[in-house]
Amino acid sequence: MIKPHGSDELNPLFIQDANARAQRVASARELPSVLVSSASAANAVMLGCGYFNPLTGYMNKADALAVAQSMRTGEGLFWPTPVLNLVPSAAAITPGQPIALTDPNVEGHPPLAIQRVDAVETFSGEELAYITAQVFGTQDSAHPGVANFNAQGNVCISGPIEVLNYSYFETDFPDTFRTAVAIREAIAARGWHKVVAFQTRNPMHRAHEELCRMAMERLGCDGLVIHMLLGKLKQGDVPAEVRDAAIRKMVELYFPANSGMVTGYGFDMLYAGPREAVLHAIFRQNMGATHFIIGRDHAGVGDYYGAFDAQSIFDSIPAGTLEIEIFKADHTAWSKKLNKVVMMREAPDHEKDDFVLLSGTAVREMLSHGIAPPKEFSRPEVAQILIGYYKNL
């Protein structure tokens, strides 16, 4: 199986032994505590799951700035986005002490992780602006990722962590949430050797389904892992439980047995476009995928990124940096001429009117009025699930 990023073996930071974990939970309740942001909590979950391999905790200020500048830590590890525990203030926290990180997303704010504090440092306004410009490609506060990043605070608590639980993800999505360790085990159990991963934060329409099928066929893959984001999204995005139901129905009805695996991971969307596309590739290498689909405007939002920026960034990464291979896809749509879904760049004789194209706004309007989009755009069973969601808004 493909090696994880940056090491020979996966290094999840979750305490596996139940007795040891119970003892650490008890000790965490006696430690000084910090209520972290949702973003920092999601970082802890990803560290616990092994998706952030080989990181051992939260970055310090120097590493965060180095990653923003060159996608490398001070020690040279390739990493595209800072992984930080940012807080508004840490006056009572001193280096060398252990602290409990408490969960902002679970009632009662239970301990999520224990962090050994290596340093407490403050970012200047100029440094935070530099990070946002480099990572998000903008400093515009209207960008949801920039807004979320800047809302966390400017004090950085760095150091290694031990993860005590997976926040709300394991309980809210028991059939879908999976660690990188668990997905590797599932891939091995299914006998898959060549595996393509598909990232989504949206329901999958017919074009997404066919894109996955194209990638599997062209790459000669044994299996597909549909890997959906289960964390916080911007306002207006479809909730994870609705996406989960819709995607599961599609795979159940339209994919052969043992060809598709529906899973999810506990992370808050960054909307960082090209940088986040690279981060997504690392997630998928760590969970055992050999290939990863990158389509148009991957992880983008608004008009902040070019249509293929999330693909071209991989051309600037030195060979051998990542073992996972990227399947670069164009926009896919139903061709009225060919009576099937095609990549638009592979149909040069087509005009725009030769495709079934619907904007997100138009689709939401149809669904909210109980109207299913054309079968060429969305599977009817998927549309009914989405209609049920929109009519209750």
Q: Residue 174, preceding bond cis, omega within 30 degrees?
A: no
Number of structural domains found in the chain:
2
> Long-range contacts of range 382-390, CB-CB < 8 Å, 24 or more positions apart?
382/203, 382/204, 382/205, 382/246, 382/249, 382/250, 385/203, 385/242, 385/245, 385/246, 385/249, 386/203, 386/238, 386/242, 386/246, 389/238, 389/239, 389/242, 390/364
- Is 194 in the same domain as 159? no
Question: Is 342 a domain residue?
Answer: yes
What pLDDT does residue 361 have? 84
- Domain end among 170, 189, 211: 170
Question: Is 9 a domain residue?
Answer: no
Of 206, 202, 198, nearest to 335 (Cα)?
A: 206
Q: CA gyration radius for the chain? A: 21
Helices then strands, each counted (H, E), the chain: 13, 15
pLDDT class for 91, splitting at 50, 70, 90? confident
- The arithmetic mean of pLDDT across residues 111-129, rounded, is 98
Please tell me whether residue 18 adopts helix, strand or coil conformation: helix
Of 165, 31, 43, 25, nearest to 97 (Cα)?
A: 31
- Is 182 in the same domain as 302? yes
The model's pLDDT over 155-206, given as tens digits with 9 standing for 90+, comes to 999 999 999 999 999 999 999 999 999 999 999 999 999 999 999 988 999 9
206, 379 Cβ separation under 8 angstroms? yes
- Is 353 in the same domain as 223? yes
Burial 188-202 (b: 16+ CB within 10 A, else e): eeeebeebbbbbbbe
User: Phi and psi for 263 in degrees, rounded to 5?
Assistant: -140, 175
- Is 295 in the same domain as 258? yes
- Is 293 in the same domain as 347? yes
Active site residue 202: yes
- Domain end among 114, 146, 170: 170
| Partners of residue 195 on adjacent β-strands | 223
- Is 25 in the same domain as 138? yes
User: Phi and psi for 371 in degrees, rounded to 5?
Assistant: -105, 125
What pLDDT does residue 202 have? 87
Question: Is 155 a domain residue?
Answer: yes
What pLDDT does residue 392 have? 82
- Is 111 in the same domain as 47? yes
User: Phi and psi for 388 in degrees, rounded to 5?
Assistant: -60, -35
What pLDDT does residue 80 have? 98
180, 186 Cβ separation under 8 angstroms? no
Q: H or E stretch including 249?
A: helix 240-254
The model's pLDDT over 320-364, given as tens digits with 9 standing for 90+, comes to 999 999 999 998 999 999 999 999 999 999 999 999 998 888 988
What pLDDT does residue 18 have? 96
- Is 54 in the same domain as 110? yes
CATH of the domain at 65: 3.10.400.10
Question: Is 53 a domain residue?
Answer: yes
- Is 359 in the same domain as 280? yes
- The arithmetic mean of pLDDT across residues 104-124, rounded, is 97
| Partners of residue 126 on adjacent β-strands | none
- Domain end among 170, 205, 235: 170
- Is 246 in the same domain as 346? yes
Give the number of other Cβ atoms within 10 Å of residue 315's Cβ: 8
C-alpha distances (whole Å) from 90 to each of 33, 61, 95 are 10, 15, 11
Catalytic residue among 21, 116, 202, 364: 202
Token couple for 342: 């095609």
Please tell me whether residue 210 adopts helix, strand or coil conformation: helix
Catalytic residue among 24, 184, 201, 379: 201
Domain that holds residue 258: 175-390
Q: What is the mean pLDDT of the chain?
A: 95
264 contact partners, CB below 8 Å, separation of at least 6: 169, 173, 176, 177, 178, 227, 228, 229, 230, 240, 244
Question: Is 6 a domain residue?
Answer: no
Active site residue 184: no
Q: Is the pLDDT of residue 393 over 80?
A: no
Question: Is 261 a domain residue?
Answer: yes
CATH of the domain at 352: 3.40.50.620
- Is 194 in the same domain as 73? no
On the 0-12 / 13-18 / 19+ scale of CB atoms within 10 A, 247 is buried
pLDDT class for 237, splitting at 50, 70, 90? confident
- Is 221 in the same domain as 365? yes
The model's pLDDT over 4-17, given as tens digits with 9 standing for 90+, comes to 999 999 999 999 99
